[in-house]
Amino acid sequence: MEVTPPLDAIAVAAPGPTDPASRMHSLLMAHSVLAGPEVRLMGPTGGGEAVLTHICAGTGAFHASIWVVGAPGEAPRLQVGHGSLGARRVPTRGIGLACTEARTVVRAKPVPGGAGREGSSDSWVLIPLAGTRGSVLGALCVSRNVEHGDWLADEVLLLEALASHLAVHLENGQLHDQLVRALDEVLTLYGAGEAISSSLDLDNVLSGILDISRRLTQADACYITENPVGGAGVVLASQGGSEYWDRVRSSQTVVEVHDQVREDGIARPFRALGAVGWCIGLKVRGQVIGSLEVYALPEMSGREVQPLPDGHGWAVEPHLLSGLAMQAAIALENAKLYQAVREKEAHLQRLVERMIGAQEEDRRRVAYDIHDGLAQLMVSAHQHLQTFGIYYQQGDERAGPSLQKGLFMLQKSIEEVRKVIAGLRPSELDDFGLMAALQLTVQNLRDEFGWQVEIVDGLDSGRLPAAVEVTAYRIIQEALNNARRHGEARRAKVAVVRRNGEVELQVRDWGRGFDVRSLSERAGTGSDAGHRVGVHGMRERAHLLGGTFHIDSVPEDGTTVTVVIPVDRSTDGLMLGGADGFGGMVRVGEAPASAGGAVVTGARSRGGGVLSWPGQRNGGGGSIGNWAGASDPDVNAAGSPVIREDGG
């Protein structure tokens, strides 16, 4: 077919040898170059340059070049060439035709009066370079002066044979380049994964992800968001951010892309406000936990960005971004889990410290109670009984009154002992349950302090799991103590209601109240320290059983403490620190079938441990008595506890 070529400017090269033997030798040399090992068609010093040199020598051409197919919609581009054309031009239209129509040879015959030296024109042959899979990889372009005549069929067949070899080498070179790029990407992703996984610190991981993302993509700005909801999501970290990028991120286009990525995590490109970008989901176990965003502004960076979504022109490969996002998601999730573990460890450490402090506080309180109450009564009883002994030996009539006073002091000592024991743990809590223990506590407040206390029993005469009963009792006891000590209350209401698998505790007092927000901000000295420790203690007790704690208080209008604790078998087997704040450990769990719901109680005033199981505590359930030592009434001479079947 004839083509009137629009031509590219290239200079003139000296024509090759004209004798047939020399030309055949040159073509054979071109073939031998192609048959050699590791032939590369890239660059002026590669095998492609040598092949084209021999082709020009063997055909009398002054120019030969190899053109390759670009991206869809792009014109073919020059891969390697030999010779020059001066004012003559390469027929790019014909090259495009040869590159799109496989097995089609395009020949341009001389055009009389065409451009060239002394009015002559050029003769072209364009041969497609077809790959092994049928696709056209490019074209071989050879041109010579009209003085050599038109292209003969044998010459074209020989050039086609050489073109087939060139196509194989071109395809191998492209496959090699793809392999090198793939290897580079694998090494890049490996290095990226190694870099961002080298630390479990969340801030370091986020910074590492951003550094690698910007380095791989040459982005102007990069963001990491967490659980994008309704658009941009919550920004965890960013690099290169500015007000401009904030406007881009809040544009409708980017918001819509975020919504799509939030659903499936697939990498998506976008254009907004003159910028281009990619948004990639961070997925862990099939769930999108966040997104990685990279942005570029071509006008500022000098990059030429082709139309999206193909991404050509900006060095961003979607599969590379997806691989990086996968590595980043795993590292980010690991860092977050590690941070959560550290926070829980720190929380547990604080809890242990508070519980130890509470234990020490209880020990001091019991010591003061014994010193100021029981010890004084015992000393007084001892003195009166000593006086009785002296008067009795002397036959003094004052012996009788002294004995009566001594016995009276002993009776008061017994009452004081019972009061101390009840303060540590009322026996009613084990024997009759939570409400009975609360009735005893409330009655003591009425008798000792003249309180008006109302109790609302919403348990329907049922028992709660032992762990829940102990926790509920201690929370209510602490709330009432705070109301008396810090709130100066004289009236309170206690409600215990069970419904929907939960038990709700509410303690309302009409004391002076306080500012809840400022409680944690105060220095924590004096009375405030005790109040703050008490509030923390109630909260931690509730959280140990998976419950919730809420305190509402208004100055001069009283305080309301509300606690909700789940009531099911999940509360069995929980370890509670400090046997009611006095040295031991309490473990609550199901008893073996042979245990019959036995209850093992420890000597709490002596630091004994307690092991209890939910079971029938009244009739049928046995209990193993104190562990304190052989001096206890329920421990035999060998130091072993005595099992009682009377339920006592």
> Do 253 and 149 fall within a single domain?
no
- How many of the other CB atoms lie within 10 Å of CB of 373? 17
The yes-or-no verdict on residue 236 having pLDDT over 60 is yes
> Do 129 and 89 fall within a single domain?
yes
The yes-or-no verdict on residue 74 having pLDDT over 60 is yes
> Do 268 and 245 fall within a single domain?
yes
* Structural domain total, the chain: 4
* 586: Cα within 13 Å, side-chain hemisphere: 25
Domain residue limits at 280: 197-424
> Do 228 and 318 fall within a single domain?
yes
> Do 554 and 601 fall within a single domain?
no
**pLDDT tens readout for residues 242-286:** 777 777 877 887 887 877 777 777 777 777 777 788 888 888 887
Domain boundary among 361, 396, 424: 424
Where helices occur in 197-228 by DSSP H, the ranges are 202-217
> Do 112 and 39 fall within a single domain?
yes
Average pLDDT, integer, range 479-498: 90
Domain-located, residue 6 = no
CB 92 within 8 A of CB 77: no
CB 333 within 8 A of CB 391: no
> Do 264 and 379 fall within a single domain?
yes
At 506, phi and psi to the nearest 5? -140, 125
> Do 405 and 475 fall within a single domain?
no
**pLDDT tens readout for residues 200-209:** 777 777 887 7
Domain-located, residue 192 = no
> Do 498 and 590 fall within a single domain?
no
Question: What are the Cα distances from residue 397, in Å, to 46, 404, 408?
Answer: 133, 12, 18
What's 271-327 look like in SS3? EECCEEEEEEEEEECCEEEEEEEEEECHHHHCCCCCCCCCCCCCCCCHHHHHHHHHH
Domain boundary among 124, 150, 179: 179
Region of poorest pLDDT, from 140-144, 178-182, 340-344, 608-612 = 608-612
The yes-or-no verdict on residue 407 having pLDDT over 90 is yes
**pLDDT tens readout for residues 154-177:** 888 888 888 888 888 788 877 887
> Do 291 and 336 fall within a single domain?
yes
> Do 468 and 614 fall within a single domain?
no
> Can you read off the two tokens belonging to residue 230?
């309704």
> Do 541 and 477 fall within a single domain?
yes
Tell me how far apart the alpha carbons of residues 195 and 109 are, in angstroms, rounded to a whole number: 61
At 173, phi and psi to the nearest 5? -65, -40
Domain-located, residue 603 = yes
CB 71 within 8 A of CB 51: no
* The residue count for the chain: 648
Q: Is 457 helix (H, G, I), strand (E, B) or coil?
A: strand
pLDDT number for residue 560: 94
Domain-located, residue 533 = yes
Domain-located, residue 11 = no
Domain-located, residue 3 = no
Give the burial class of 592: count Cβ atoms within 10 A of its Cβ; 0-12 exposed, 13-18 middle, 19 or more buried. Answer: exposed
**pLDDT tens readout for residues 210-230:** 887 777 777 788 888 877 544
Radius of gyration of the chain (CA): 46
What is the CATH classification number for the domain harbouring 108? 3.30.450.40
**pLDDT tens readout for residues 629-638:** 333 333 333 3
- How many of the other CB atoms lie within 10 Å of CB of 84? 13
The yes-or-no verdict on residue 548 having pLDDT over 70 is yes
What's 496-521 look like in SS3? EEEECCEEEEEEEECCCCCCHHHHCC
Question: What are the Cα distances from residue 145, in Å, to 60, 61, 151, 191, 262?
Answer: 8, 7, 11, 55, 63
What is the CATH classification number for the domain harbouring 494? 3.30.565.10
Region of poorest pLDDT, from 95-99, 479-483, 494-498, 580-584 = 580-584
Q: What is the pTM of this model?
A: 0.47
Domain-located, residue 42 = yes
What does DSSP say about strands 77-83 and 63-68: parallel, antiparallel, or unpaired?
Answer: antiparallel
Domain boundary among 128, 148, 179: 179
